[in-house]
Chains A and B, each alone.
Chain A
Amino acid sequence: MSKPKNFEKPAGVRDYLPLAVSRLRRIERQVLDCMGRWGYQQIMTPTLEYYDTVGVASSTSDQKLYKLLNNRGQALVLRSEMTAPVARVVSSLLKDEPLPLRLSYHANVFRAISEEAGRDAEFFQTGVELVGEASPEADAEVVALAIASLQAAGVKSFKIAMGHVGFLNGLLQEALPDRREEQEELKGYLLGRDHVGFRDALQKMALPLEQMEGMTGLLRLRGGKEICSQGMELSRHELAQSSLHHLCKVWEVLEDYGVSEHVLIDLTMIGDFTYYTGMTFEGYAADLGFPVCSGGRYDNLLKAFGRPVPATGFSLKTNRILDIAGGAEKEQTALPVLVQYDSARRKEGLAEALRLRAAGHTVITRLVDESVQWDGDLQAVNEDLLQGNTSGRSDGVKYGEIYSFVSSGSLQG
């Protein structure tokens, strides 16, 4: 590798300029405020974690983790998501806190993305974890809060697709009892979104016609509440039935929240099986090709940290929302006020600046150029400053108002 040019950054990380930062902060503030009003308290965890604890427990695949060694040769990771760190905190520092716990976070996370140089290796996630509740009520609360958060962030048109890992597990166990490898193969195709591969593999498994139709019918189970009853007909398996029952309850609670218009049930919607244990969901915005949020129930994760309690949560992909949630330009902050002075009246000028700042104005101060003989036209200079004109006498910034503290003389205004 050649030495990088001095303006270069490592692939996948970026600088955020003022406009982007003000948008990002606005989204962050509005979403965290929203979560706060639902009783979720914000926590912060370190950027670095041990590979063997949080790294291994996280849902991120191993090759996407940034791994490094500390000065003692211990393997560390840059956090790749926030659920595993929160689980660690809940199982250690907060282990005596009564359940349920409602926690929120906003944090930068890191993923090593090799094939796509244009993708972000560092990005922001804003999310919540609801720990200690296994009820449909808790799952619905998290989905409803995801909807409220997307709205708070300024995302206008969106849909949440909701599924259940248990339904598919039940369906597969019923159709292919004791054929673990074939079950895994089919799950792999669904996870890879390869419906063609799924159907081809099913063909080869020589199932009875009815089960075969049931399994291919799975691919069409997308829609509203009616999908639950359609699913019930596909599988009599106990796990599948109880999963659908749970999902149906979640839907009913969401109806009472008044948000079910944003939600659809999709029984092909499956997150990572090794991680999610129950309801899973993903959010999609109309103007974006990638999901804007994802979440679900992960009842096994906290066991890995020694506190076996159920948990559910979600995270918003805040960077992607940044691209679509308008408003920052419109919400344009007021122009700054200029306080200019010469050295004789500096004290007066700075005192005025302090007073204005205390009153909530954005104030920029400057010493007027005393070496120049102004032709008595401070008025014209100020005119330039108010217009934001770049001239020898102005700095190109547009000001809303100007206060001048200049001794009598040529610079009179």
Chain B
Amino acid sequence: MSERLRVAMPKGRIYNKAAELLRAAGLPVPPEGEEGRKLVIPIPEANMEFILAKPVDVPTYVEYGAVDIGIVGKDVLLEEGRDVYELLDLGIARCRMSVIGLPGWQPGIQQRVATKYPNVASQYFREQGQQVEVIKLNGSIELAPLIGLADRIVDMVETGQTLRENGLVEQARIFDITSRLVANRVSYRMKNKEIQTLCDALYQVIGAPAAK
């Protein structure tokens, strides 16, 4: 563990929103792509270092202490089930995890659900007392019910635009998703001051969490 606070940032969808938030909190984080293909961006003036990671890997880096803190969606946290501190709801990249199907869907004898989130999906249907076969896919989940691979899917819904375009309907909402600030168990104690300072600065930007 170095003296610098190491922060894992999720590449892609969330990055620019998270960077904007950090900039508003006074941290000079560059917009995505500005640093070319660099994966490690040092910010010596803030004594920090940003690591650009694939979102699903952020909780893993944090759990193992390869980075001190990270920003990641609640969907990934629930799917990965890593042992990290969930410190702050950043309120960005708001969306929801939902069960989706074709209109007029009726439960068949063999129910199949396609998803990028097999742990989340299995747990949800177990808790509903439903017996389903979960099929893990890595992308274009909406395709599955259209071509008959599965009768339903579990996926993230932001505006519902993709669903409408593909003639699918949202059947049930499983949970709401926002991005979270997470911390390693050891860093949370060893770098207490730095992490608390960052948390406080972020509170200021997103509004006190107690009043939210």
Contacts and interface: CB of A to CB of B under 8 A. Distances in A.
A287 interface: yes
A286 to B, nearest CB: 5
B192 A194 contact: no
A379 interface: no
A193 interface: yes
Given A287-B1, A289-B63, A193 B189 contact: no
A291 interface: yes
B87 A196 contact: yes
B195 to A, nearest CB: 10
Interface stretch (B35-43, B141-149, B178-186): B178-186
B31 interface: no
B88 A196 contact: yes
Given A159-B190, A264-B189, A286-B190, A195 B65 contact: no
A222 interface: yes
Interface string B74-90: 00000001011111110
Interface string B1-12: 100000000000
A67 interface: no
Interface in A243-297: 264, 266, 282, 284-291
Contact of A197 (B86, B189, B212): B86
A199 B86 CA distance: 11
A220 B197 CA distance: 12
Query: Per DSSP, are chain B's interface residues mostly helix, strand or loop, or mixed?
Result: mixed
Contacts of A239: none
Given A193-B83, A212-B210, A222-B192, A290 B89 contact: no
Contacts of A290: 64-65, 185-186
A176 B125 CA distance: 32
Contacts, number: 66
B186 A115 contact: no
A370 interface: no
Interface string B181-208: 0001111011010001000000000000
Interface in B100-127: none
B93 interface: no
Interface residues of B, number: 25
A32 to B, nearest CB: 25
A286 B1 contact: yes
B48 interface: no
B28 interface: no
Contact of A195 (B81, B85, B189, B190): B85
A112 to B, nearest CB: 16
A216 B89 CA distance: 14
A352 B64 CA distance: 52
A259 to B, nearest CB: 16
Contacts of A264: 189, 192
A287 B180 CA distance: 25
Contact of A266 (B187, B189, B209): B189
Contacts of B132: none
B25 interface: no
B210 A213 contact: yes
Interface residues of A, number: 28
Contacts of B53: none
Contacts of B186: 284-285, 288-291
B209 A199 contact: yes
A161 interface: yes
Contacts of A115: 81
Given A115-B81, A193-B83, A216-B210, A288 B189 contact: no
Contact of B190 (A196, A203, A212, A284): A284
Contacts of A291: 185-186
A266 B209 CA distance: 21
A196 B189 CA distance: 18
Contacts of A222: 189, 192, 196
Contacts of B187: 289
A194 B82 CA distance: 11
A110 B212 CA distance: 44
A290 B186 CA distance: 6
Contacts of B192: 222-223, 264
Contacts of B1: 286-289
B66 interface: yes
A199 B83 CA distance: 19
B65 A193 contact: no
Contacts of A287: 1
A287 B64 CA distance: 11
A404 B41 CA distance: 62
Contacts of A282: 189
Contacts of A196: 86-89, 180, 209
Interface of B: 1, 63-66, 81, 83-89, 180, 184-187, 189-190, 192, 196, 209-210, 212
The 9 closest A-B pairs by CB, nearest first: A289-B65, A284-B186, A193-B85, A194-B86, A196-B89, A289-B64, A196-B86, A161-B189, A216-B210
30 contacts: A115-B81, A161-B189, A193-B83, A193-B84, A193-B85, A193-B185, A194-B86, A195-B87, A196-B87, A196-B88, A196-B89, A196-B209, A197-B86, A199-B209, A213-B210, A216-B209, A216-B210, A222-B192, A223-B192, A284-B185, A287-B1, A288-B1, A289-B1, A289-B64, A289-B66, A289-B185, A289-B186, A289-B187, A290-B65, A290-B186
Given A196-B180, A286-B1, A289-B66, 10 more contacts: A193-B85, A196-B89, A199-B89, A199-B209, A222-B189, A222-B196, A285-B186, A287-B1, A288-B65, A289-B187
